[in-house]
Structure 1
Amino acid sequence: MLIKNARVIGKDGLFELCVEEGLLASGCKKDGSIFDAEGRLVVPGFVNPHSHLGYSVTLRYGKPNQSGTLHEGIIRNLEDVIPKLTCDDVRRRLKKITTLMFVNGVTHVRTHEPFMNGLMYKVHKAREEIPLDLQVVAFPTPGVYRYEIEEEFRKASLMADVIGMIPHGERTFMEGVESVKLAFSLAKENNKMIDGHVDETDDPNSRFTEEVVKEAIRNGMGEKVTISHMTASHSYDSWYFDKLMSMMVSSKVNVVSNPIVSMHLQGRYDSYPKRRGVARIRQMMKAGINVALGTDNIADMIYPLGEGNMLRVAQEAFLVDHFVSEEIYSLMNMITWNGAKAMSLNNYGIGEGRKADFVVLNARSIYEAIRSALPPALVVYGKHYVVNDLKFSIDGNDVTGLVENLTD
């Protein structure tokens, strides 16, 4: 495949990109399809480092979550949904949801999967049939000690790509601390990365992030450690958060925020005014912490909507955490390079000889891409590709360029 008239991120002018046998080559040696990018911007494939694909698209599998809280959503999943998830059902839905993500430009995903009822193992097996790169996290929800599943967790950690945790879900603070230590112990034993649900609450007294950071420093594992959610930071005293950020910078841990679903879940116990309940994305980025963005749940008991569109996620992060116009460009890093760093992806990016892994946006700039959040015009990952032919006309006249690039 030859992609011509492409505007590659970080470079001036228009270029040709040639994909041969799933790799980026210096020139096309065989006749193949030609895609005219028409000056659109090309960026590396989108990275979604936080999702729950195993029970995505299960919104109608049980009783509705009437309170809209995370607590009720977890109960509905454990009681109504997960017991119904057969291998065939997981395979069918995983194909559906990863297809949706691929159409939206996502080529790398990390999914957090409970191992009760064998769900994590079913997802691990079914990933062989999908077009994306997928990392699986052993997720001990709603708590290792709370549900007394330590032995099952140890077993799951052998197969998983990443070790999870959920310390704020444990019965006591001390059990939460012990669950953090257990996750690090399993990660070191099995040479695995760590990605935990940490401080996903509005409670300003939920401070397990500092425990994770302490263990990351003690074990020298910071770059392989990701703190997901961290919504309690929205309620922290600013003096404490400043101290915490200093520790996080020193440790080199990663943070993943899921602004859309966090806005839906947090603040549910507030009257008015209601907290936004999203991690302090902007402050952490300015401090030099690697912050990435994820989709979290899609069409399930936790969050009933969702589309897998990372540009929409970036747009919502801009809104919720009071970014300003000159910072829009940093949001693209949060759905590409920052996520790749959190997932420890090797050879990520656009380069000759590398696996073809890029997105031709339906825009000529980062600003326009995030403003419009349109699905990409072309997505390529290895030998797989998607073409989204979006055309708009009024009274028979093509107005596509006006819609895609408002500020030109």
Structure 2
Amino acid sequence: MKSHVCSFKTYIRDEIIKKGGWVNAHAHADRAFTMTPEKIGIYHSSNLQQKWDLVDEVKRTSSVDDYYARFCQSIELMISQGVTAFGTFVDIDPICEDRAIIAAHKAREVYKHDIILKFANQTLKGVIEPTARKWFDIGAEMVDMIGGLPYRDELDYGRGLEAMDILLDKAKSLGIMCHVHVDQFNNPSEKETEQLCDKTIEHGMEGRVVGIHGISIGSHSKEYRYKLYEKMRKAKMMMIACPMAWIDSNRKEDLMPFHNALTPADEMIPEGITVALGTDNICDYMVPLCEGDLWQELSLLAAGCRFPHLDEMVNIASINGRKVLGLEPI
């Protein structure tokens, strides 16, 4: 008798459906589909810090209707893949003010019967400079999760730890989760995940803080990594991997352990750390070649980490995503 043969994509997709559907736990839907062939040269010649300010052009010239159209396009792309919950950061800052988040809420009302949408405020201008702080405070009242980018304040003012305090204070006062971009530059000098763990415990926010990316973790020694995983367990910190966002990490001359520019899910999950999946930026200045394909993200993570554990792959793309968004399992 011949056994039934199917692709792993088909098998995993069917198992994900059984667990409530795909979850895209992290994206930037307000900037999606803003890259053009004319602009792609800028992507190649700019580093991440420069891109943070390059997107000001898009933000400055986008109306509420422009943002709404991009949200709708992104949401419909997710629905077409069987995504049932979608977490996205939304720029709320001195450049775009509240136009993007107004559009986000309009889109959520339209699609409320089709998909669960969760919003976090993207603090691309930081939270230290007074005008940026004003918009952070305004935005915090308009989202479901506090979003953070402490490296921006570290880069501009050397005050990344203070930025973490501000983020966690706000999340705690509002009784909501906090999602923070950490360790994005694939560099062993970065220890933001560890710093965020310490701050999570200091603020009594265990179980309500989620790191995003964490690719620099793999550049540290094995001894450091496993001490960090112990600290993450203590803080009950979760992590979102966005593989396509960082697979293009630049070559470096630094000496470090051989590793992929990916969240080390193969080490974190056996250590009891919840890892979820996100697409991050979709066809914009940051990641122009990302198509928002959840299967591409999941298969890249599993292959790049040599972690083809089918049950865990299913969990990463489904129930773990619901957990990091503060949703109950289905």
Distance in 1, matches of 2:45 and 2:270, equals: 36
Deviates more, 1:230-239 or 1:164-173: 164-173
- Which one-letter code corresponds to 2:108 in the other structure? R
Determine if the alignment matches structure 1 residue 221 to structure 2 residue 205: yes
- Distance apart, 1:279 and its partner CA: 1.8
After superposition, residues 190-209 of structure 1 pair within 5 angstroms as 190-209=174-193
Deviations 1:324-360 (A, max 9, x none): x4x13211100001111111103x31xxxxxxxxxxx
Compared with structure 1, are the counterparts of its residues 108 and 229 closer, same or farther at alpha carbon in structure 2 (3 Å cutoff)?
A: same
Is the partner of 2:87 in helix, strand or coil?
strand
CA contact (8 A) 2:148 2:179 kept: yes
Distance in 2, matches of 1:205 and 1:311, equals: 32
The counterpart of 2:36, out of the listed 36, 41, 60, is: 60
CA contact (8 A) 2:218 2:225 kept: no
Is the partner of 1:159 in helix, strand or coil?
coil
- Distance apart, 1:62 and its partner CA: 7.5
The counterpart of 2:132, out of the listed 133, 137, 149, is: 149
Q: Match for residue 284 of structure 1? A: 268
The counterpart of 1:133, out of the listed 93, 101, 116, is: 116
Distance in 2, matches of 1:228 and 1:111, equals: 12
CA contact (8 A) 2:126 2:133 kept: no
- Distance apart, 1:84 and its partner CA: 1.7
Distance in 2, matches of 1:74 and 1:223, equals: 29
- Distance apart, 1:125 and its partner CA: 3.3
Q: Match for residue 89 of structure 1? A: 66
- Distance apart, 1:190 and its partner CA: 1.2
CA contact (8 A) 1:50 1:111 kept: yes
Distance in 2, matches of 1:195 and 1:143, equals: 14
CA contact (8 A) 2:28 2:89 kept: yes
More helix per residue: 1 or 2?
2
Q: Given the two structures, how large is their TM-score scaled by the length of structure 2?
A: 0.85
Determine if the alignment matches structure 1 residue 344 to structure 2 residue 326: yes
Q: Match for residue 291 of structure 2? A: 307
Deviates more, 1:186-195 or 1:269-278: 269-278
CA contact (8 A) 1:138 1:160 kept: yes
Give the aligned CA root-mean-square deviation in angstroms.
2.4
- Distance apart, 1:106 and its partner CA: 0.8
Q: Match for residue 99 of structure 1? A: 76
Deviates more, 1:56-65 or 1:286-295: 56-65
CA contact (8 A) 1:104 1:308 kept: no
Give the structure with higher Rg (CA).
Answer: 1
CA contact (8 A) 2:92 2:123 kept: yes
In structure 1, the gaps of 5 or more residues are: 1-39, 350-408
CA contact (8 A) 1:145 1:171 kept: no
Determine if the alignment matches structure 1 residue 73 to structure 2 residue 55: no
Q: Match for residue 3 of structure 2? A: none
Distance in 1, matches of 2:130 and 2:253, equals: 28
In structure 2, the gaps of 5 or more residues are: 1-13
Deviates more, 1:127-136 or 1:194-203: 127-136
More strand per residue: 1 or 2?
1
Distance in 1, matches of 2:46 and 2:270, equals: 33
Determine if the alignment matches structure 1 residue 333 to structure 2 residue 315: yes
Deviates more, 1:69-78 or 1:251-260: 69-78
CA contact (8 A) 1:112 1:164 kept: yes
CA contact (8 A) 2:281 2:287 kept: yes
Q: Match for residue 173 of structure 2? A: 189
- Distance apart, 1:50 and its partner CA: 0.5
Q: Given the two structures, how large is their TM-score scaled by the length of structure 1?
A: 0.70
CA contact (8 A) 1:101 1:307 kept: no
Is the partner of 2:141 in helix, strand or coil?
helix
Deviations 1:188-229 (A, max 9, x none): 111111001111112211112122111222333222110001
The counterpart of 2:164, out of the listed 155, 164, 180, is: 180
Q: Match for residue 45 of structure 1? A: 21
Deviates more, 1:210-219 or 1:164-173: 164-173
After superposition, residues 234-383 of structure 1 pair within 5 angstroms as 234-264=218-248, 266-267=249-250, 276-323=260-307, 325=308, 327-346=309-328, 348-349=329-330
Distance in 2, matches of 1:215 and 1:169, equals: 17
